[in-house]
Amino acid sequence: MQTEKDIMKELGCDNSKQKVIQFGLWETFKNKVDDIILKELNIAFYYKSYKILFNEEHVFDAIADDIYKYELSKSDKFKEKSILNAEIMSKTIDNASKRHNRAIEAKSKIIGKLKDNDKSQKIERRAGKNYINDNLELGNNLIIKHATDIKDNVKKTKLELDIEL
């Protein structure tokens, strides 16, 4: 900071905070810098920011003794994954149900035929009778741990969509 450099020079400390401290001028230095910063910038307090770098090996050495206290056993990991997957699955289906109901409501308010645009296609897809079941199957295949391979089902669905269009 330029103000600090100017005050160090004024105090004869050759741009070194270490010399300011050695000469017993820290309080004088600090008060002069604070006065100038308050007067010119209207800043009452300031601090120098530091970039903190971590060495992965040093961090591991520092926590090595305690790290295993926080590691889950295999059975606890499985239990936690199962709970998390069930919550995600529940939320996924709940959200799909809400989207489905809103789409049905939006579709019922449309007079005549839906326009041929992305928004209308989205409403049509979400209002479809298979929307919730499709989301359930998608969740079962992507979220549930022992999911079956859905590659063939995806290809089949894509072919069916291509035929419809």
User: Within a domain: residue 107?
Assistant: yes
Per-residue pLDDT of the chain (165 residues; tens, 9 = 90+): 788 889 898 899 888 888 899 999 999 999 999 999 889 888 887 777 767 777 888 888 888 878 777 788 889 888 888 898 899 999 999 999 999 999 999 888 877 776 777 788 888 889 999 999 999 988 887 887 665 666 677 777 766 666 665
Question: Which domain, by its residues, includes 13?
Answer: 2-41
The answer to whether position 62 is within a domain reads: no
Determine the pLDDT at residue 127.
92
Q: Could you tell me which of 104, 109, 96, 94 has the C-alpha nearest to residue 124? A: 104
Say if 59 falls within a structural domain. Answer: no
- Stated pTM of the model: 0.47
Residues 6+ apart with CB under 8 A from 15: 5, 8, 9
Q: Is 37 found in the same domain as 81?
A: no
Question: Both 88 and 143 in a single domain?
Answer: yes
Task: State the first-to-last Cα distance of the chain, in angstroms, to the nearest integer.
Answer: 67
In a domain, 65, yes or no: no
Same domain, residue pair 87 and 136: yes
Task: Give a yes or no: residue 22 inside a domain.
Answer: yes
